[in-house]
Structure formats: C-alpha cells, structure tokens
Chain A
Amino acid sequence: MFSALKKEKRIIPAVDDISFYLKEKETLGLVGESGCGKTTVGKLILRLIAPTDGKIVFNGVDLLNLRKSELRKVRSQMQMIFQDLDAALNPRMKVRDILKEAISVYEELDYYGMNKRISELLNQVNLKKSKLSNYPDELSGGEKRRVGIARVIAVKPKFIIADEPTSALDVSIQAQVINLLRDLQEELGLSYLFISHDLRLVELISNKVAVMYMGRIVEMGLSGRIAHKPMHPYTNVLWSSLTEGGEKTISVSRLSWQAFDFERPVTGCRFHPRCEVFKARGNPKECADPQNEPKLTETGTSHYVACHFPIL
C-alpha cells in the first residue's frame, strides 16, 4: 500500500557524526533551531530510533549491542520527558493510574506500598493529592508537565532526556518547572540531556552546552563560555537574537535567517551560506570546499568548535 509513496528513496542525514559525553549529575544542554536534529539525538540515545551507525555507551555498556530484554533493563535507568504535553499522557487514564502503570513496570508493590510510592512521587513534584482522580485534560499545562515528570522519575532513572520540557508553558510556569528539575537533580542525583531552543534556560540549567546545526554539533563547551564568548559564527548569531529589555537592536542581516533544508545539501561547511564571517572574509575557498568540512576540534580547555575561522 505504501509502495506508491516510496517512489524516491532519499537518505536524509538527520543526525550526522555526533559525539559527546555526559558525566554523572551533569547537565548537557543541546540547542539549535527546529529541525536541526535535537530531538532525534534524544530518541537515538534511548534507541527509540535505530541509528545507522555509531556507538552509544551507557555505564560502560554499548546500547546498540543489547538484546531487547537487556535493553529493557537498561531503559529503567534512562527516561525521556517528551515535548508534547497532551500526547504524552493517556487522556483516558486518571493521574493515579498513569503513575501506577509507570511504577508497576519495574516494581511489584502491594496496595499500601503503591499508595505510599504515589504520594512520595507527588511530594517530589509538588502536586496536590486531590489531582490524583483527575484526567489529564482537567489539569493545567504546568500540572500536566509535573505529572509527566513524576511518571519519569517513578522508575528511578539515573539519566533523563528532557525534550523541550518548557516550550508549551507560560513563562511563570516555565520557571516552576526549571526549579523543579534542578531540585530533583540535587535530590536524586540525576543527569540531564536538556534539549531546548530557549537559550536562556539552557544557559541557566546546563553545565555544558552543545550547539547543533543541520545534524552536526558545531560548538561545545562550558555554558558560560558558549553564551558569552562564542567562537562559532552560528552560536554568535543564536545568542545575539536574545534581546535584553527589548531595546537592543539586532545587527544580523536578513540572509542569516533563511531556513535551512536537509534535502539541498551544502558543500563544505554547512553554515557557510548564512555565515557572516564567510562574507566578511570575502568568501574564502575552504568554507565551500566539499572535501574540507570543518571538524569539531578542541580549541581550549574542553571547548570544541567546528569552524575554519572561529571568532577569537
């Protein structure tokens, strides 16, 4: 039935040659525009999508070599908070049942044990007990998000992938959720991969930040450095889009904001058609050379950048 749709078979490298590591109790922020492959990275780590090639090592175990039953065990250690609040919670289940289901995946508890565990979870995410008998659509956005987080920590994970956990929320509720995530990190010793396009929040919550562009990491380093002393022109453009108090004018030309397209691959550096440095240097050959795509190289203490002409 779907053969007709498969007329043209093209390979779109959504995530292309990415390497990073994450230590215990650390937060890595992953930023980039929509469509650059942030979410795909998160899903790849959980093996929700099978990667074409590569290695994902978690606690010394390569996840790609695991069989399904083994993978299931490892997955209790790593969880994902999904972006879409409404799609992530079953609309026909009450909050109590949602939490119960999550707990009973890895733990067998009797009635009292279960109730105890549920109220413990509610405490951890500051949710009122009266909400247990509500359906998801009776909850506000912030409450739904907190139920989602409660369900994730119900299996006692060590590592959480938070995919845009605040994007659908009001600014005031965003702050609540960010505070909650930070509290839980301290309390439970969690590591986060924090995926977001909100640069302020990423800077705030992360120890390290990786900037993605068209499926590649173009710069990676400590969050303060990335935010205030970026070396890659793209990182510079990203952070310059933040306005302070609304009065700062933006000096980035219109060209820099054209959307990118995976299906029309760029030769050489992927960013060069939008790059200010490229233009300022009079279109140097290296940038457009298909044989010479810049590699992520270490330029300072644990700071990596993929650019021929990094801003110094």
Chain B
Amino acid sequence: MEKKKVVINEVLKVEDLRTYFYSYAKEAFIRSVDSVSFSIRKGEVLGIVGESGCGKSITAQSVLGLITDGPGIISGNIFLTHNGKTINLLEGLPDYVSVKTKRKAILEIAKDVTGWLKRSEILMKGIRGKVISMIFQNPKSALNPFITVGEQIAESILLHSSISAKKEAIDAAAKWLERVQIDSPSMRLYDYPFGLSGGMCQRVMIAMALSSEPALLIADEPTTGLDVTIQTKIIELLKQLKEELNLTILLITHDMSVIMQLADRIAVMYGGRIVEYGLKREIMDSSSFIRHPYTIALLNSQPTVEEIKMKERLRAIKGDVPDTITLYRGCRFYERCDLKNDRVKKKCKEAEPEMIEIGVGHYMRCYLAEG
C-alpha cells in the first residue's frame, strides 16, 4: 500500500473508511460506514452527529480497532500522527479478507479471522487506551463494579505511563479525580462505582481516559442518559479540560445542542455516509443559506424557546433511519427530505449526489447546493 503524506498538525486522518458486515440471513452487506473521510487537527473537536443507526459509533470503533465481529470488513486508511510519526491503523488488514463476486452477487466471503485479529492487535498495541482513549456511552456499565474507582484509574496509569509504583499511581489517580472536579478526591478513590451517581461515574471515566494523556480522545455520547442538569456540567467540564490540556476530541452524539457547545468542526452522518462536513461557524452561521436538508431537520427537531412558549407542534423528522442493507440508487435522505423541489426531484431519486465544496472547507452532498 502506498503511503501518503499527511499534514503534520492533523492528528487523525480518515480516508474512504468502509466498515461492512455481512448478514447471512439477508445475504447482503450491511454498509454501516460507507466511504467516510474526515480529519481532526490538534486541539480541535470534531463532532459527528446523526440519528442512531447512521454509523457514528461504528466509525469510532473502527478507528480504535474494536470491530472484531465475524464478517466485519474494514477498508480504507486511518492515519494517526503521534510524536511526529504517522502510521496507518488499517495497514495490511484488507489482505486477510477476500470477497468473490459474480454479477454483483456475493458468492463467498473468506476472512482469515485469526490472522486479521493478530494483525489488528499488532497495529493497536500501545495505541488503544494510550494514544487514543475512549469515553463510552454508559459510564456505569463501563466501570468494573468490583473494583474501586481509584484502583481502576491507577490500573490505566500503570499500564500507559512511566509510573510503575502502585502508590504513586494511586496518588496520580487522586490528582486526576481532582482535575475532573470530583469533591474530596482522596476519599472518592476508595468508592465503588455503584456508590457514585451517573454524572460522577462519567467524570471517573473521563479521568481514566485522560490519565494516559492521549493524543486523541473519542467521546461516544458522553452526556446521553444523564440528567439535563448533569449534562450541562459534563459539557462544561469537557470544554474546560479541552482548554487546559489542549485536547483533541472526536465527539459522537445525536444531540445538536451538545455539538453546538463543544465542536469546532462538524460532520453530519446519515445512512453510513457523511452528508455535510465543515467548520461549525461555517455551517451554523446564520447568514449562510445553504445547509443540508438533514442538518436543518436535525436542528429543527430541537424545540426553540418560542415554540415551547406557544406550545407548538414539534417539527419531527418523519419516518425512520433507513437500513444500510438496501442499495439506494438515489439520495439516501430522499424519502424523509422536506426540501426536495421539482427542479432536483428527479435527480435526487436517480443518482446519489457527490460531495461538493460549497464554501471554504465546507462540503455537502446535495443537489440543492449546486447552482
């Protein structure tokens, strides 16, 4: 595989990432992530937003090499730059999979699972948990209920840093707990996860993820399932830590309001594809009149203050997320799109729009954006 040159300040660059699963029952590929490209610069927060089932989490898991399930097929390039070195996290992996097709019908998929896993482990060694760490969606189930939180953080520190004495690691853990604003951290070290509230568990998770001083932090729905009041606190904490530690974050959420508060750059995903990509100030700028219909629909489904006051009907997006098994000829958002007009209707149905640049670094996949 040819190695491409990557701009130095890009921590992560994903090119043409495809993560497919094979459904034996339906004899077809599930195209969870379908040709996705994006990049994150140092100190930047990239927010991936979309409804559940559109491939956000699978993208993150592909980056971390967590897709190990049977017929999971990943292709593309994921370049990670750390300490001046750039490595491709998918290098050599596609060699272990071969797909035989005949007139579009899949005859056979051969995957050398052991070899694939071995290769994946070699690639991920020293990266997963150290250079890239992750905050999961459900903090309570991500922590071990039998081990005190102090010990869990210390374990991560012992594994990923130069500290080798347990006592020092515990001290370091206390420091991290203080950093994430947990009161009386030296006491909380000895608490078990069940003794902590949801918000506190999330703070512990953040402390654990940051204790290895990662180059990239992946936050998968960090506020989902928490009380609204606690959500604001967690967002504020992440904002503060980002400033203090110059963190680079890949933020995954379905909630536009979280994106608005944290992200610098936004990638809107739908049906396994990125449909809009660009800087937040470009996309959210009120003077810019071009936005992807899906982005508009997502923004509208959040009620505004006036709408609540007048008790108006909410502007929901009709229908559900499409499955990624069926191959669509046209735009994947066609069925649910409210903005399609007579000019583009026919085109929308017939061929999927290409990603086109409509502003500085602002890309969109929609015929409406074309002249």
> What residues make up the interface of A, taking CB atoms closer than 8 Å to B?
33-35, 140-143, 167-168, 170-176, 178-179, 182, 197-201, 203-204, 224, 227-228, 237-238, 241-246, 250, 254, 257-259
Query: A34, A172, A243: which contacts B297 (Cβ < 8 A)?
Result: A172
Interface string of B104-134 (1 = CB under 8 A from A): 0000000000000000000000000000000
Q: Is B172 an interface residue (CB 8 A)?
A: no
Contacts of B197 in A (CB 8 A): 34-35, 259
Contact B183 A250 (CB under 8 A): no
B8 at interface (Cβ–Cβ under 8 A)? no
Q: Nearest residue in A to B263 (C-beta to C-beta)?
A: A246
Name which residue of chain B comes closest to A237, CB basis: B229
With A170-B52, A179-B314, A258-B183 known as contacts, the answer to whether A246 contacts B228 (CB < 8 A) is no
What residues of chain A lie closer than 8 Å to B307, measured between beta carbons?
Answer: 204
Within 8 A of A (CB), among B279-306: 297-298, 301-303, 305
Given contacts A140-B52, A140-B53, A179-B316, contact A246 B261 (CB under 8 A): yes
| B interface residue numbers (CB < 8 A to A) | 51-53, 181, 183, 197-200, 225, 227-230, 232-233, 236, 254-257, 260-261, 297-298, 301-303, 305, 307-309, 311, 313-318, 320-321
> Bound state CA distance, A174 and B254, in angstroms?
11
Q: How far is the CA of A203 from the CA of B313 in the complex (A)?
A: 13
**Are B228 and A197 in contact, CB atoms less than 8 angstroms apart?**
yes
Q: In whole angstroms, what is the CA distance A175 to B307 when docked?
A: 12
B301 with A203: CB separation less than 8 A: no
- The total of interchain contacts (Cβ-Cβ below 8 angstroms) comes to 93
On whether the beta carbons of B316 and A175 are closer than 8 Å, the reply is: yes
Determine how close the nearest CB of chain B comes to the CB of A85; give it in whole angstroms.
Answer: 12
Pair B313/A170 contact, Cβ less than 8 Å:
no
Supply 18 further A-B pairs (C-beta < 8 A) apart from A167-B225, A172-B51, A246-B257: A33-B227, A142-B320, A170-B254, A171-B298, A173-B316, A175-B315, A197-B228, A201-B303, A204-B307, A204-B311, A227-B308, A241-B232, A243-B261, A245-B260, A250-B236, A254-B181, A257-B229, A257-B233
| Pair B200/A259 contact, Cβ less than 8 Å | yes
Q: Report how far A197 CA is from B183 CA in the complex, Å.
A: 24
Bound form: Cα–Cα A244–B303 in Å: 11
A contact residues around B225 at 8 Å (CB): 167-168
Contacts of B318 in A (CB 8 A): 176
For B200, give the chain A residue with the smallest CB separation: A259
Which residues of the partner chain B approach A33 to less than 8 Å between Cβ atoms?
Answer: 227, 229-230
16 example contacts (A-B, Cβ-Cβ < 8 A) are as follows: A34-B227, A140-B52, A167-B225, A170-B52, A172-B254, A172-B316, A175-B303, A175-B315, A175-B317, A200-B303, A227-B308, A241-B228, A243-B257, A246-B257, A250-B232, A250-B236
Task: Tell me if B233 and A178 are in contact (CB < 8 A).
Answer: no
